[in-house]
Chains A and B, each alone.
Chain A
């Protein structure tokens, strides 16, 4: 289990995460939702170790969490220019990984330069890299961005299978529906703190409340602008 206790992160004088508490259990997929600027990416970057925290603790099995245990797929996938998809994947050492078999699912032109890949193809390549690394903790920031319906469904099936293998999976998404049919927990991040954590039987009500809140807050402005 990953335990986050009293985590505070600031950029300069501006606090982004404030005394945040959160546990991520094994065999579970955890969704993190929040509006833009709520601190989702900062939370993921901090868990991965890319952002130093002001105070608090992040542990994995009661030991400090390290990058060795994590595979982190970021929102915007960058690669090196003038290399092919296959060359990128060769960076990750795993002799048992059957790349060609996995690529039946993703259908990527692995021997073409990544520079010519579409956004969705780059995302698929990053996800193949994640699968090849086979780490116990998987962090996916907006993994469904730019993917077609078929690949979204395939990714969902893969993540559900990985969950059963005992991995901790943390996913963020702007589209809440992609999380409600995938996650075991959804954590709502607002103003740098986890406001609430929901289980699948509470998802529907959570979704309705959230949408209602957003609509109520903005309806009057939209009405006045489009009158």
Chain B
């Protein structure tokens, strides 16, 4: 058990080191979120929501982790290992709950973690080849993969938004979800052959990538915007603002991705900057941050892509 925990610590440490210059921002961000959560833990029902969010996160880790079979091979009691790992991850929350003398929630958290640690279920890979996939351009692999993965979120959201358009909140909420989900499609670096296959110089490559993304995004957004304007003409600007805002976020995410692009890797820095850009828009006077950063990241992305696509000038 101790040997495994040491390995986990080293993996965590190396992962943290790999985040490079993002590390201080990450620590700051986590510290800020931690502080806000600590301050809110004393206020019911927020404390229940926070504990619930932690349990859902641990559940999602347990279901998606790929080392379940490996741990079953090397240990007689893998659930114990899972439990200790999750307990350590939730230790700051447990201590904070103890500080507020929230004994029941501590017990609920530990009970929940114990239950989660016993879950052996791993979802099977779904092929999900539906007709929608054929409509997405071949080069937009992020959308092909993303739509396949999130089809059970995207399709019902779109349908509820469209057919419930007579209700004022339906379309704006649907647009919000449909605008937010695709940003997560750009957090992983594709193999370099995917870049080379297009035989374009960095500028043309980026332009093509953004054009394709905006094209699919518009197909997703425009019908919903139309029905919203039909039913709520006087509030037309809400859907237009969402369209513009999420369009900017999408372009920004693509530029961030290729600024930090490395083949076959999870782009932690890209996901961090994307989140930062989106969060900054929630604060009115910081709304221009993604636009300003987009200009900077455009030139950075060109520079980075030039290493791979320099022969296609």
Name A's B-contacting residues (CB within 8 A): 49-50, 66-68, 78-84, 87, 90-93, 111-113, 115-116, 129, 133
Is A66 a contact of B311 with CB atoms below 8 Å? yes
Is A116 a contact of B196 with CB atoms below 8 Å? no
Which chain A residue has the least Cβ–Cβ distance from B194?
A91
| Chain B residues in 8 Å Cβ range of A91 | 138-139, 141, 193-194, 197-198
Tell me the bound Cα distance from A49 to B312 in angstroms: 12
Is B127 a contact of A111 with CB atoms below 8 Å? yes
Is B141 a contact of A84 with CB atoms below 8 Å? no
Indicate which residue in A68, A79, A81, A116 contacts B311 across the interface (CB closer than 8 Å). Answer: A68
A/B interface sample: 14 pairs, CB < 8 A: A49-B310, A67-B311, A78-B264, A80-B188, A83-B148, A84-B127, A87-B144, A91-B138, A91-B193, A91-B194, A111-B127, A113-B127, A129-B193, A133-B197
Asked if B146 is at the interface (CB within 8 A of a chain A CB), the reply is yes
Is B197 a contact of A83 with CB atoms below 8 Å? no
| Chain B residues in 8 Å Cβ range of A66 | 311
Is A68 a contact of B127 with CB atoms below 8 Å? no
Is B196 a contact of A81 with CB atoms below 8 Å? no
| Chain A residues in 8 Å Cβ range of B312 | 67-68
Tell me the bound Cα distance from A82 to B133 in angstroms: 11
CB distance from B204 to the nearest CB of A (A): 14
Is A112 a contact of B127 with CB atoms below 8 Å? yes
Asked if B286 is at the interface (CB within 8 A of a chain A CB), the reply is no
| Chain B residues in 8 Å Cβ range of A79 | 191
- What does the 1/0 interface line of B124-136 toward A look like (CB < 8 Å)? 0111010001000
Q: Which of B126, B133, B145 neighbours the largest number of chain A CB atoms within 10 Å of its CB?
A: B145
Tell me the bound Cα distance from A90 to B310 in angstroms: 23
CB distance from B191 to the nearest CB of A (A): 5
| Chain B residues in 8 Å Cβ range of A93 | 197
Tell me the bound Cα distance from A80 to B193 in angstroms: 11
Is B197 a contact of A115 with CB atoms below 8 Å? no
| Chain A residues in 8 Å Cβ range of B78 | none
Is A80 a contact of B138 with CB atoms below 8 Å? no
Tell me the bound Cα distance from A66 to B126 in angstroms: 39
Is A80 a contact of B148 with CB atoms below 8 Å? no
- Given known pairs A80-B191, A82-B145, A82-B149, the reply for A115 and B125 (CB within 8 Å) is yes
Which chain B residue has the least Cβ–Cβ distance from A130?
B193
Is A68 a contact of B199 with CB atoms below 8 Å? yes
Tell me the bound Cα distance from A49 to B310 in angstroms: 9
Asked if B190 is at the interface (CB within 8 A of a chain A CB), the reply is yes
For the complex of A and B, 8 pairs with smallest distance between CB atoms: A82-B145, A66-B311, A90-B138, A78-B264, A91-B197, A67-B311, A78-B191, A80-B190
| Chain B residues in 8 Å Cβ range of A92 | 197
Which chain B residue has the least Cβ–Cβ distance from A115?
B125
| Chain A residues in 8 Å Cβ range of B199 | 68
Asked if B112 is at the interface (CB within 8 A of a chain A CB), the reply is no
Tell me the bound Cα distance from A223 to B105 in angstroms: 64
CB distance from B76 to the nearest CB of A (A): 30
CB distance from A88 to the nearest CB of B (A): 8
Asked if B184 is at the interface (CB within 8 A of a chain A CB), the reply is no
| Chain A residues in 8 Å Cβ range of B190 | 80
| Chain A residues in 8 Å Cβ range of B145 | 80-83
Which chain A residue has the least Cβ–Cβ distance from B133?
A87
Indicate which residue in B126, B141, B198, B263 contacts A83 across the interface (CB closer than 8 Å). Answer: B141
- Given known pairs A68-B199, A80-B188, A111-B129, the reply for A49 and B144 (CB within 8 Å) is no
Tell me the bound Cα distance from A146 to B150 in angstroms: 32
Tell me the bound Cα distance from A116 to B127 in angstroms: 9
| Chain A residues in 8 Å Cβ range of B133 | 87
Tell me the bound Cα distance from A82 to B126 in angstroms: 9
Tell me the bound Cα distance from A132 to B142 in angstroms: 22
| Chain A residues in 8 Å Cβ range of B149 | 82
Is B146 a contact of A82 with CB atoms below 8 Å? yes
- Given known pairs A111-B129, A115-B125, the reply for A80 and B311 (CB within 8 Å) is no
| Chain B residues in 8 Å Cβ range of A81 | 145, 188
Is A67 a contact of B148 with CB atoms below 8 Å? no
Tell me the bound Cα distance from A91 to B142 in angstroms: 12
Is B129 a contact of A84 with CB atoms below 8 Å? yes
Q: Which of B196, B264, B310 neighbours the largest number of chain A CB atoms within 10 Å of its CB?
A: B196
- Identify 18 new A-B residue pairs, CB closer than 8 A, beyond the known A67-B311, A68-B312, A91-B193: A49-B311, A78-B263, A78-B264, A80-B145, A81-B145, A81-B188, A82-B146, A82-B148, A83-B141, A83-B148, A84-B129, A87-B138, A90-B138, A91-B141, A91-B194, A91-B197, A113-B126, A113-B127
| Chain B residues in 8 Å Cβ range of A49 | 310-311
- Given known pairs A49-B311, A67-B196, A67-B311, the reply for A80 and B141 (CB within 8 Å) is yes
